[in-house]
Amino acid sequence: MKIAILGGTGSIGKGFALRLNKKHEIIIGSRDAGKAKATASEYNDILTNRGIKAEIKGTDNKTAAENADVILIAVKYNHIGSVSELIRPVLNNQIVVSVVVPIEKDYCYIHPDTTSLKIPVSREDYNANYFCYVTPPAGSAAQELAALLPANIELVSAFHNVPAKKLADLDVELDYDIGVSGNSMHGKKVVFDLVRDISNLRPLDVGPLETSAMIESLTPLIINISAKNKLKNLGIKFL
């Protein structure tokens, strides 16, 4: 299949491109076509140096979406409005996969004499920080994206909890579960197969698109646990 990775120049996009290249035609999308082409060339060099055939292409987001069978949207949450508006005219029968997590870094001021949390008065007073899930008005990033795309487009939510650095490191053997949400069983089955195309990833059906918030919100939880406990690049595995 032809897979467009919108936001493919980012950290998570790199891993998808390198891992899915083996079985699929990869198109890197970016707001800047020149940047996408340069990034695609970089990814091709990484694979070629490992003796892996690579023909990853790079172009602008709209062109990438137009020429794909599956579109992975891996942009920051605040860009989904502009990206969806851009690709709407070229959407036909593509399956769209949301990898978007609405996440922000928050700060708490902890009074030195108590354990109570107070509103910080200056950056110098910050002695604790963490990432938090910012629930969109629609309930999740995937549900918000669904409202912005044509009604006939199959939208699936997946891949939120896989660590980007390990995904992009081909020397690392992955062993994670990937929650998949969506209202179309056909779309979810396509994504199940994509998950399986990455060695040792297991797809798990979470339910309809409304359940995406549960999976999306695990991402900041994992990051916080990693940071506070000095554990690197954690993921999810159900045992």
Residue of 124, 22, 152 whose CA lies nearest to 3: 22
Q: In this structure, what are the phi and psi dihedrals at residue 89, rounded to the nearest 5 degrees? A: -65, -20
Could you tell me which residues come within 8 angstroms of residue 220 by beta carbon, excluding any fewer than 6 positions away?
A: 101, 103, 130, 131, 132, 133
Task: Please say if the pLDDT value at position 44 is more than 90.
Answer: yes
CB-based contact 198:184 (threshold 8 Å): no
Query: Where does the pLDDT of residue 128 fall: very low under 50, low under 70, confident under 90, or very high at 90 and above?
Result: low
pLDDT average, residue stretch 167-184: 96
**Six token digits for residue 238:** 């159900």
Task: Give the residue extent of every domain in the chain.
Answer: 2-101+136-209
- Most confident residue range from 75-79, 106-110, 229-233: 75-79
Burial of 239 (0-12, 13-18, 19+ CB in 10 A): exposed
CA 79/CA 76 separation, integer angstroms:
6
Question: What value, to the nearest 5°, has the Cα angle with vertex 193 and ends 192 and 194?
Answer: 90
Instruction: Report which residue type is found at 110.
Output: I
Tell me the C-alpha to C-alpha distance, in Å, between residue 113 and each of 64, 109, 122, 130. 55, 12, 18, 21
Element (H, E) at 144: helix 141-148
Specify whether domain 2-101+136-209 bears CATH 3.40.50.2000.
no
In the block, residue with structure tokens 């969109």:
136
Residue 161 CA to residue 97 CA, distance in Å, equals 14
Label the pairing between strands 95-98 and 70-73.
parallel
At residue 228 the predicted structure's pLDDT band, cuts being 50, 70 and 90, is confident
CA of residue 40 relative to chain centroid, distance: 18
Mean pLDDT of 72-78: 96
Which region among 104-113, 114-123, 140-149 has the lowest average model confidence (pLDDT)? 114-123
Residue 116: what pLDDT?
Answer: 44
Block residue for tokens 């509103």? 119
Q: Does 95 have pLDDT greater than 80?
A: yes
Q: Report d(CA 38, CA 50) in Å as an integer.
A: 19
Residue carrying the six token digits 């110098």: 124
DSSP 3-state of 84: helix
Q: Any bridge partners for residue 176, and if so which?
A: 201
